[in-house]
Homo-oligomer: A and B are copies of this chain.
Amino acid sequence: MTARAQALTLYESLLLIRRAEEKIQAHYAEDDMKTPVHLYIGQEAVAAGVVNGLDPADPIVGTYRSHGIYLARTDDPEGFFAELYGRVGGPAKGKAGSMHMARPQDGLFLTSAVVATTIPVALGLAFTQQYRKTGRSVAAFFGDGAMDEGVFWESLNFACLKRLPVLFVCEDNGLAIHTPSVARRGYKSVADAVGGFDCHFVESESTDPAEISDLTRDALARQREDGRPVFMRLRCYRYVEHVGPREDRDFHLGYRREEEFEYWRARDPVRCQRERLIKLGVPEAEVAALETKIDERLSRCVAEAQKAPFPEPEELHRDVLA
């Protein structure tokens, strides 16, 4: 793929995520999306970049903050909004909502609302790849808060021990709800803490999805070369509150600083990628057309989801056991 084509693809991915969540922001107060939303606005480069760097068949798991990886991997905003609106057309027929948004057929196996709980699931997915010699790797997305949980360390240990093909993707936005990492971490740095384990370590605070995609591809290559799993610490920033649609400018409360906000905003992944496109010579009109296309598609998704049917009451009792 040419740099231009790649840049366009990544822009489309970023924009799909950003605009989809802006739609949520626009409509959430209508109270028809009856699901908590943990928005990803600000962090898009991670999902777009890592998913782009993975093979489309590489399995993925995530957290309750997984709109980004869902849209980056599935290109299914239709199902996405249907699920948010609790309609039968959602990937889980409305049973999952935002916090469990997943699509196994596209390799996004599971997302979970309990911190750190899909990390060991990634071990199992990776075990299957190893057992079946598929050559695929598994990406486990999780927040920095997940590193507080013992199961993260158990999982890291086991992946290193068994040389499981796992990419630990730590989306480090520096906060667990409103508790900053300094108030939760007894280690010197993530690099130090993870560094003692028998894995590769990659760190970045890039908001450029191409850079993150390259890092990911490189990580996969290293992982495949010697079998060691990779830990990627990808620093990022969320502009919105932990849960809910509001922009989070609660600087007076002391858990985040305005300068930080502005530092990241100045490197906003979506805007910067747009600038890159223009620099690469993509005509403004072409970019605008892409934007319009995405906007229109998303508007259609919302409109359709709003009038789509809800599941029938009998659906309640389906899918408990196979």
The minimal Cβ–Cβ distance linking A58 to chain B, given in whole angstroms, is: 21
Are B198 and A196 neighbours in the complex by a CB distance under 8 Å? no
Give the CA-CA distance A166 to B195 in the complex, in Å. Answer: 24
Q: Which 7 A-B pairs have the closest CB atoms?
A: A150-B150, A160-B186, A192-B196, A153-B153, A161-B186, A193-B196, A157-B186
Is A185 positioned at the interface, with any CB of B under 8 Å from its CB? yes
Q: Restricting to A146-180, which residues have a CB under 8 Å from any CB of B?
A: 148-154, 156-162
The minimal Cβ–Cβ distance linking A194 to chain B, given in whole angstroms, is: 7
A159 partner, pick from B186, B192, B198, beta carbons under 8 A: B186
The minimal Cβ–Cβ distance linking A229 to chain B, given in whole angstroms, is: 9
A154 partner, pick from B148, B157, B160, B198, beta carbons under 8 A: B148
How many subunits of this chain does the assembly comprise? 2
Which A residues are closer than 8 A to B by beta carbons?
148-154, 156-162, 183-189, 191-199
A198 partner, pick from B186, B191, B194, beta carbons under 8 A: B186
**Majority secondary structure, A binding face:** helix
A183: chain B residues within 8 A (beta carbon): 161
The minimal Cβ–Cβ distance linking A145 to chain B, given in whole angstroms, is: 12
The minimal Cβ–Cβ distance linking A124 to chain B, given in whole angstroms, is: 16
Give the CA-CA distance A151 to B154 in the complex, in Å. Answer: 9
Are B148 and A157 neighbours in the complex by a CB distance under 8 Å? yes
Give the CA-CA distance A197 to B188 in the complex, in Å. Answer: 6
Are A187 and B197 neighbours in the complex by a CB distance under 8 Å? yes
Query: From A150, which residue of chain B is reached at the shortest CB distance?
Result: B150
Give the CA-CA distance A185 to B160 in the complex, in Å. Answer: 8
The minimal Cβ–Cβ distance linking A230 to chain B, given in whole angstroms, is: 13
A196 partner, pick from B151, B162, B187, B199, beta carbons under 8 A: B187
Are A187 and B192 neighbours in the complex by a CB distance under 8 Å? no
A195: chain B residues within 8 A (beta carbon): 192, 196
- Could you give 6 example pairs across A and B, Cβ below 8 Å? A157-B184, A161-B184, A191-B196, A193-B196, A195-B196, A196-B196
Give the CA-CA distance A188 to B154 in the complex, in Å. Answer: 15
Give the CA-CA distance A196 to B153 in the complex, in Å. Answer: 13
A196: chain B residues within 8 A (beta carbon): 187-189, 191-196
Are A157 and B197 neighbours in the complex by a CB distance under 8 Å? no
Give the CA-CA distance A152 to B160 in the complex, in Å. Answer: 18
The minimal Cβ–Cβ distance linking A305 to chain B, given in whole angstroms, is: 39
Give the CA-CA distance A167 to B159 in the complex, in Å. Answer: 28
Given contacts A150-B152, A161-B185, A186-B197, 12 further A-B contacts (CB under 8 A): A149-B150, A156-B186, A157-B185, A158-B186, A160-B186, A160-B187, A162-B186, A186-B198, A187-B198, A189-B196, A192-B195, A193-B196
